[in-house]
Chain A
Amino acid sequence: MASVELRNVQKRFDRTTVIRDVDLRIGDGEFCVFVGPSGCGKSTLLRLVAGLESVSAGSIHIGGEDVTAKPPRERGIAMVFQSYALYPHMTVHQNIAFGLEMGRARRAEIDAKVRAVAETLELTPLLDRLPKQLSGGQRQRVAIGRAIVREPQVFLFDEPLSNLDASLRVQMRIEIARLHQSMRTTMIYVTHDQVEAMTLADRIVVLNAGRIEQTGAPVELYRHPRNLFVAGFIGSTRMNFLPVRAEGSAAGVVTVGLPGGARLDVPVAGAGARPGEALTLGIRPEHVRLEGEGAALAGPVEVVEELGDEQLAYLRAPDGTLLTARIPEGARLREGQPGRFHLPPAACHLFREDGTALPRRD
């Protein structure tokens, strides 16, 4: 058990800077998820913690100890790779035992530990098989077994579920969550799938172009994204963005003019916006209503996607923006017909031109 601390960490490959000044403290026992688009540096950051890459500047501390210059084996970490990376010439038993054999453990002790881990991961009947005789899910469990048998201070997961099919992924996600509950070990988990991030994390770190955009609990990022990038990245269907203009600003309220002429009073915390300032209004598809309070946008409904229990409707706003709404099944919207999307003011986000969010109330 240990905390992980990154201090002003930078990483350059030749001349490209991949990680810029990352400062982060992950608490003991915390489940921290690095999330971001591909190429944002999240895997590199994880590999820096693992010691598979060396930092160009800054320092890394695990359990209060500076491990910046130490090789992986002295960092007390265990890592699960996206490709599983099982040793193909070793049986499941040998794969799991490999890490223990690197230490000074005795044979009988190793065997007992391997069997205990295999038991919890339901791998006991497979112990004598080679990796090529296992299914994807089984390989993934072996990879996890190989990590937990070493009882590391910190678990590192590098997109462990992205090679699995959808149903297996959900199942393994639950197993990993259960694992964290029972072990209470610090875990760092890299993914590009924000559903995994939302469901697993105690804390999410959103990365973009080598920088931390925001860190916080999943709900906090969902409710209070600090900028346009985070707002667009977090949420299972992407947030709608509309260009608007501030028309007035009173205490705790900014009045904006929507495309098509309607006005909306959006509640904000703290300072408002200058009248005439160009803003971006954001609203999540699940908050858009077909009727009720708030100003509405009218336009033709272009596509309706049926998801079974609900629908995704796409409406062309007067300024040409395509807006998405998640609406209950059976709503009477028809493709090609005119429709109206209501925007409840309390659910709206406002962003300045530089992308930063106006703080919201609740």
Chain B
Amino acid sequence: MNGRALLARGGFALLLLAIGAFALFPFYHAVVTSFRSGTELFSPALWPETLDLSNYVQVFTQLNFGRTILNSVLVAAAVVGLSLLLAVTASYALGRVRFRGRGALMLTILGVSMFPQVAVLSGMFELIRALGLYDTLPGLMLANLVLTLPFTVWVLTTFMRELPKELEEAAYADGASPLTVIRRVFLPLLWPAMAPTALLAFIVSWNEFLFAFTFTLSAETRTVPVAIALLSGGSRQELPWGLVMAASVIVTIPVVLLVLAFQRKIVSGLTAGAVKG
């Protein structure tokens, strides 16, 4: 390797390092801060001097954080489940059945996802109140579906179109009904697409703030992002940074674990061998 190539490689490595640092530093800072309390919070040191777990203890003892996490899990799980159920059946219709206005429908679904959340907020509020779902978890689930359905439907429809048509026809010729075809043939083959979309839907719902903030009132229905935002310290002037950071670290862990778990599930090339080749 000559000097020039060495220099180029070194430069590239430096660039990667810079990007990595930029992406990871805020999270690192959160972790470090979560171990601090009092005036220590404002220390500019990059390394934690002590491992003070009092913030974590306080999050669970004082804030009923367990209930909040449970709320978030319930909402996110329901949103993921409903999104996938609706998206798989919708993608079958949109990807496989020929009907008038299919293209327009697809564009509408995409269009819905382009509106900023604030734009639909007041309308959604009226809707949720009319349905009597204000300050309830189902209300929040319904609202979050608006955010997750467009992209789950789109991703699965695209994937569904790629599946060989003969597979479906073979199943019909074998005596299957449309629902059986979806369940026994498409669902297993859609796994590689469903795992990442489910994950994205989970993350969207888990981190959703605006709807949760608007459509819930009581502490019993609060989800994690709202609870963190509403954390307050001993006085008005004091923002409990240590608590906020500890709570943030706690709620990030499930997402990281989920990503790691799903990563192994995302198997590509499952369709190999279905048809010729």
Contacts and interface: CB of A to CB of B under 8 A. Distances in A.
Q: Are A and B subunits of one complex?
A: yes
Interface of A: 47, 50-52, 71-73, 77-79, 81-89, 98-99, 102-103, 130-134, 136, 139, 146, 150, 156, 163
B184 interface: yes
A130 B173 CA distance: 21
Contact of B189 (A50, A88, A102, A146): A88
A113 to B, nearest CB: 14
Given A83-B164, A89-B188, 11 more contacts: A50-B173, A52-B169, A73-B174, A81-B166, A81-B170, A84-B276, A85-B275, A86-B274, A98-B176, A102-B176, A132-B273
20 contacts: A71-B177, A72-B172, A72-B173, A73-B176, A73-B177, A78-B174, A79-B173, A81-B166, A83-B275, A84-B274, A87-B167, A87-B185, A88-B273, A89-B188, A98-B174, A98-B184, A103-B175, A133-B273, A136-B276, A146-B174
Contacts, number: 87
A51 B169 CA distance: 10
Interface of B: 164, 166-167, 169-177, 180, 184-185, 188-189, 270-276
Given A85-B164, A87-B185, A102-B180, A78 B276 contact: no
Contacts of B185: 87
Given A85-B274, A88-B271, A71 B166 contact: no
Contact of B274 (A50, A77, A131, A146): A131
A31 B177 CA distance: 29
A262 B172 CA distance: 61
Contacts of B275: 83-85
A15 to B, nearest CB: 15
B174 A150 contact: yes
Contacts of A89: 188-189, 270
Contacts of A131: 273-274
B181 to A, nearest CB: 10
A87 B275 CA distance: 9
